[in-house]
Structures are given as C-alpha cells and as structure tokens.
Amino acid sequence: MTAYRLSENYNRGSSKAKMPKKECQRTEKAENPNSGDTEVQGTLRELNMPVHVRNEERAGLSIARIILDSAPLNIIDIDQCDELIESIYSIRDDDVARIVIVQGEGAEFCSGTDIAQHTPELMPELLPRFHACLSAMLSLDAITIAAVEGHCLGGGLELALACDRILVDEEAKLGLPEIKLGCFPPAGWVQMLSRSSSGSAVRMVSSGDIYKASEFPHQGVIDQIAPSGDLEKTIDQEIKAYLKLSPAMLAFTARQFHRRAHDQWARLLKDLEKDYLEGIVSHPDSREGVEAFLEKREPRWADRLGLIGPEDLAF
C-alpha cells in the first residue's frame, strides 16, 4: 500500500538527519502528588513548529509527548504529516521513551486533515502521507496514549485510534464526519472494525455523527473518560500503573501489539486507499462536498451513483 511504501522514505537514517536541531531544556516539578514530587526533565524541540516533542521522566520511566500545535484546531496538512512522521521516528530512533502521549495544544486535540487539500490534485499526496503517520505510530516500542480534549474529528480520531489507549475529557467531541463531505475515512473504517463492533463501525462511518464524549455510544473506542478539566490527572493515573514495571518488558509488549495491529490493518487499508484515490476523490459528490464546506453552504449531491463501474456492485 502507498502509505506503508511511503515509510521507506522515512527510514531510520533519513528521519534522524531531518530532525530539527534547535533544543532548549526545561525542568519542572510534577504537579501530580502521586508522583512523589519527582522532577520532570523536558526537552522541547522547535516550539514554533506545528508538531513538537516533549520528553519527560517519572520515577525512572521515560515519557514522550507528541504535541500538535497548529491553532486553532490543530488541523494536519501535507507538510505537517511530514513533521509528525519525523517526530514519531525521532522517538523511535532514540529508543528511550516507553510511554508516548499524543495531544493537542490549546485544549484541542485535532480536527483532522486540511479539507482544502481534499482535491484530486493534492489528495494522492495527503492521504498516503497521513496513513504513513498512523503506520509510524505502530513502529514505536512504547505504550501509546491519545489524550483527547476539544475536537477529535476525522483524521484526528484516526490518529487517536492509532494509539493503544484513548483517554478523553468528558466535554470532548468525537466523530468521523467525512461522509458529509462526500467521501469516507479509509483508516477510520479499518480501525473501528478492530476496536468496536461491525454495527458500530457502520453507524460511525456512514452517519458522520459527532458525539460528546460523555454520550459516545460506541463501545471499545474510548478507554477512559475524565471529568471536565481533569484530563491531566487521568493521564497521571494511567501512567502510574506503568511506573514500577520493567521498561524493557513494556517495550516488548508494545511491540507485539503493534506488529499484530499493523498486520491487521495493512491489507485492508491498502485496498481502501486504492479505492479512495481511484474512485472517490474524483467523484462529483466528493468535489461538491469539499466545495460546499469551504463555501459554507449545503452540498448539492448528484442524482446518480457515479461508481467506478457496474462491477463495483458485484460481490
């Protein structure tokens, strides 16, 4: 699949070579009283970048935070896909962090990929690169946690679903609204099938509904809901369970889960990505959905199916 083939361009050597070099150090006291007032060492890389990494240490366990920082909704475009991949691979190549937290700046997680780039010209570049981000998450020998507050929509939810654990603020809003743009989420479809029931996957992908976390109806997607404003405390409690464990065994365990997940995703996502790029992106309803969104109006859908061909209706 293009998404996984693309990862060849981000091998260990090239990803390291492209990492920004400007760093600054920060030391602060952990706010969590259960941490024993342990000092948290932080390394902040390129804070003016839309994606940066913060490294911490708690009770001898190394933790990395991948922070999406493109206000106001932390939307991911083609260039930011590259930065996200580089950030993930920098953590992988350092091979120190055994907990990786993905979160958004400004009380927002991520509202997905840039809809302005959902065009026949740019989507063949954006979609494989974004899928490569999800694949890169599965290359980490670490327990991965999505820390969700604010909006977690479309590609943002797909990024969260690429993590092992999803912790959300009760006020967060989650959904896969792509169908309202005249398209569908290839990765979200595969991920929902692996984390939830078939019926939930169908409903989530086919309705485009957006749910408040406290009312989220699909089991298996959200692992823990935090009271409003208490997401960091919930993260602290989650991390506390790992502090006394062997970092080496955490790495080994995570690797096994991630290998199995990649094996399950790869073939299905390859086929869906191909269908999307060959049939969906050029469909008149896909163009209309994107244009209507950008023009802030209701879409006017075509009257015909407009499938790739009659054979698409055959099983």
Q: Verify whether residue 23 is a known catalytic residue.
A: no
Q: Verify whether residue 56 is a known catalytic residue.
A: no
Among the listed residues 149, 158, 238, 273, the single catalytic one is: 158
Is 93 exposed, middle or buried, given 0-12, 13-18 or 19+ CB atoms closer than 10 A? middle
CA–CA gap between residue 199 and residue 260 (Å, rounded): 23
Among the listed residues 86, 108, 149, 178, the single catalytic one is: 178
Give the pair of three-digit tokens for residue 153: 């929509």
β partners of residue 58: 61
Sequential DSSP letters for the chain? -HHHHHGGGG-HHHHHHHS---EEEEEEE---GGGTS-EEEEEEE-TTSSEEEEEEEETTEEEEEEEE--TTTT-B-HHHHHHHHHHHHHHHHHT--SEEEEEESTT--B--B-GGG-STTTHHHHHHHHHHHHHHHTT-SSEEEEEE-SEEETHHHHHHHTSSEEEEETT-EEE-GGGGGT---HHHHHHHHHHS-HHHHHHHHHH--EEEGGG---TTT-SEEEPTT-HHHHHHHHHHTTTTS-HHHHHHHHHHHHHHHHHHHHHHHHHHHHHIIIIITTSHHHHHHHHHHHTTS-----SS---S-GGGG--
**So which residues are the catalytic ones?**
158, 178
